[in-house]
Amino acid sequence: MEHVDFSLVDWSRAQFALTAMYHYLFVPLTLGLSFIVAFMETQYVRTSNPEWKRITKFWMTLFGINFAIGVATGLILEFEFGTNWSNYSWFVGDIFGAPLAIEGIMAFFLESTFIAVMFFGWNKVSKKFHLISTWLVAIGSNLSALWILVANAWMQYPAGMKFNPDMARNEMVNFWEVLFSPVAMNKFFHTVTSAYVLSSVFVIGVSAWFLLKHRELLFAKKSIIVASVFGLVASLLIIITGDGSARNMAQHQPMKFAAMENLYKGQQNAPLAVIGLLQKNHTDTIIRKQDFTFKIEIPSLLSIMAFQDANAYVPGVDDLVNGNKQHNILSYKERTEKGKISIMSLAEYKNAKKTGNDSIANVALTKFEENYAHFGYGYYANRDVNELVPNIPLTFYSFRIMVGLGFHFIALFLVILILTKKDKIGKKRFILYTALWSIPLAYIASELGWIVAEVGRQPWVIQDILPSIAAVSQIKPASVQLTFWLFFVIFTGLLIAEIKIMLSQIKKGPEPESVDLKTN
């Protein structure tokens, strides 16, 4: 690729990042709050206690507000694949489109069908049918996340496909490999459990506000019990899925792993930097290197985390860029040469097929297939190798802040649960304020997780196969800039509207029992 309009690439990436980050402000609360509401309604049906119905309806209302705005931003996100990333859509549309189609046909249809019963079926259907509808909305919401995350995981670890040289696009050959790849399954469970943590923090924080205001004390304490147990279980699962995510990353996206740890020189018994402060080192003229001003390490933990072996060799940025023959790691120069051969062989194959020269076509096809694993690197032949290295400081700091906040939430759930069980939570104003101000921290942690996942894999749209410079639509940068700012204004307006509506509903509180005398 001789000419690249980096203005177009940068603005297209910025617009997609803007849409995705705003969208994910709404998604995690939907995923977790749907289950919390289902648990609360289960308690109502089991006990016939009208207080549980009040609790359920209050949190259900907040779920509905968040769900509606989340759908609006999600639709725009999917349209952008066609408008801004049409080359990507052509290249892998047969694969990437399948899980998204299933999400729309099965999961979204399920939740959108039963959400009407969930909100408007009180006193119109039986208790049990209404409860089933609530659970189906929760399951449908999380199934939607499954298919979307399967599509995203495939971009990180393309599996179950074969390249069709005649059509110049990838085609699915094994749906089950796409669905059940280790990256897809781990990504799904890690993402949804993080959403459950955010939702639990949200419920606890709002309930803490009621306790601080000395309002709805029974409502608040019951809500805290459900949310703290749910959040604590989810937090423990996050530790397990986080470990799996790190291992998948080390094996399939070693550059992202090295950037996340600021590991420049690979090593055995690699230590994990728990915390550290980075500064630029200008002595290396080839690769942008970040030195540690200070760091606190745990010996050998990075090797264990990556390969479950303290003696395992973990490659660093230098190994991946310049190669390491001892550990069979090709340099980026070698990979760009192989990628260039793959791109040229594909062109030779198509020209030979047009002229009917099957012998030349077969030789070109063989050469193409031998080098296809490096196909995407061909776009970086004769380019700066730094373009293949992600933003290390952003990835490094995002990961550590995210993990640090995760441990904060675990401690919060434990303390809140113990104090509530002992009926002492109302007297601990510092803990209540901590819970309240942990709500924005949960959203920050959620966004940082996606920054690690997506910034860390740059410049790849599909790992090793299609970079962002080859995936964008050939449109004018000015068009993307215009829509970027339009979306920014619209999404910001939606976010402000949601916050105002949410705050208004929270201040109003659950409906008084006298308003809801009739129970189903």
- Measuring CA to CA, how many Å separate 382 from each of 1, 9, 332, 348? 10, 19, 11, 21
DSSP state of 286: S
Please state whether the peptide bond connecting residue 459 to the residue before it is cis, i.e. omega within 30 degrees of 0.
yes
Mean pLDDT of the chain: 90
Please determine, for residue 114, whether its predicted confidence score (pLDDT) is greater than 80: yes
Instruction: Print the SS3 string covering 421-432.
Output: HCCCHHHCHHHH
CA distance 166 to 309: 44
CA nearest to 115, candidates 136, 144, 145, 142: 136
What is the count of structural domains for the chain? 2
As given in the structure block, the two tokens for residue 511 are 């409906």
The answer to whether residue 405 is domain-embedded is yes
| Residue bearing the bigger pLDDT, 439 or 513 | 439
Give the mean pLDDT of 254-279: 92
Of 284-288, 336-340, 500-504, the least confident: 284-288
377 with 407, same domain? no
Give the mean pLDDT of 287-306: 86
> Is the distance from CB of 40 to CB of 52 less than 8 angstroms?
yes
The answer to whether residue 62 is domain-embedded is yes
The answer to whether residue 492 is domain-embedded is yes
**Which range scores top for mean pLDDT: 71-80, 226-235, 420-429?**
226-235
**Which range scores top for mean pLDDT: 43-52, 420-429, 509-518?**
43-52
Give the mean pLDDT of 312-328: 92
382 with 474, same domain? no
Residues 51-86: tens digit of each pLDDT? 999 999 999 999 998 888 887 777 788 788 888 888
CA distance 452 to 420: 35
The answer to whether residue 514 is domain-embedded is no
173 with 67, same domain? yes
SS3 state at 417: helix
Give the mean pLDDT of 26-36: 94
| Residue bearing the bigger pLDDT, 518 or 199 | 199
> Is the distance from CB of 180 to CB of 160 less than 8 angstroms?
no
The answer to whether residue 239 is domain-embedded is yes
∠ CA 73-75-80, rounded to 5°: 95
> Is the distance from CB of 149 to CB of 186 less than 8 angstroms?
no
The answer to whether residue 519 is domain-embedded is no
Where does residue 427 rank: exposed (0-12), middle (13-18), buried (19+ CB within 10 A)? Answer: exposed
- Helix H or strand E segment including 326: none
Of 349, 365, 389, the residue that ends a domain is 389
SS3 state at 347: helix
Q: What is the DSSP string of 127-180?
A: HHHHHHHHHHHHHHHHHHHHHHHHHHHHHHS--SEEEETTTTEEEES-HHHHHT
292 falls in which pLDDT band (50, 70, 90)?
confident
Give the mean pLDDT of 193-202: 97
CA distance 166 to 70: 39
Domain that holds residue 340: 257-389
489: Cβ contacts below 8 Å, ≥ 6 apart: none
CA nearest to 316, candidates 248, 265, 392, 252: 265
12 with 143, same domain? yes
344 with 491, same domain? no
pLDDT for 280 equals 73
| Residue bearing the bigger pLDDT, 345 or 93 | 345
101 falls in which pLDDT band (50, 70, 90)?
confident
As given in the structure block, the two tokens for residue 207 are 């309930």
169 with 66, same domain? yes
299 with 241, same domain? no
- E-assigned strand segments in 165-288: 169-172, 267-268, 272-281
212 with 343, same domain? no
DSSP state of 381: T
Of 389, 421, 443, the residue that ends a domain is 389
338 falls in which pLDDT band (50, 70, 90)?
very high
Residue 196 backbone zone (phi > 0: left; psi -120 to 50: alpha; other: beta): alpha
225: Cβ contacts below 8 Å, ≥ 6 apart: 417, 420, 421
Residue 278 backbone zone (phi > 0: left; psi -120 to 50: alpha; other: beta): beta
Please determine, for residue 180, whether its predicted confidence score (pLDDT) is greater than 50: yes
Q: What are phi and psi of 299, to 5 degrees?
A: -60, 135
Residue 177 backbone zone (phi > 0: left; psi -120 to 50: alpha; other: beta): alpha
Please determine, for residue 409, whether its predicted confidence score (pLDDT) is greater than 70: yes
The position carrying tokens 């995002």 is 398
Residue 323 backbone zone (phi > 0: left; psi -120 to 50: alpha; other: beta): left
- Helix H or strand E segment including 298: strand 289-298
Percentage of residues of the chain with pLDDT beyond 90: 69
pLDDT for 515 equals 46
Please determine, for residue 113, whether its predicted confidence score (pLDDT) is greater than 90: no
Sign of the alpha-carbon torsion through 112, 113, 114, 116: positive
The answer to whether residue 517 is domain-embedded is no
Please determine, for residue 514, whether its predicted confidence score (pLDDT) is greater than 90: no
Give the mean pLDDT of 428-450: 95
108 with 221, same domain? yes
How, if at all, do strands 161-164 and 169-172 pair? antiparallel
The answer to whether residue 380 is domain-embedded is yes
pLDDT for 334 equals 93
As given in the structure block, the two tokens for residue 66 are 């968040």
User: 458-469 b/e with 16+ CB inside 10 Å = b?
Assistant: bbbbbbbbbbbb
CA distance 439 to 431: 13
CA distance 133 to 121: 9
248 with 325, same domain? no
Of 389, 419, 446, the residue that ends a domain is 389
324 with 421, same domain? no
User: 185-203 b/e with 16+ CB inside 10 Å = b?
Assistant: bbbbbbbbbbbbbbbbbbb
114 with 142, same domain? yes
CA distance 166 to 158: 20
CA distance 472 to 85: 4
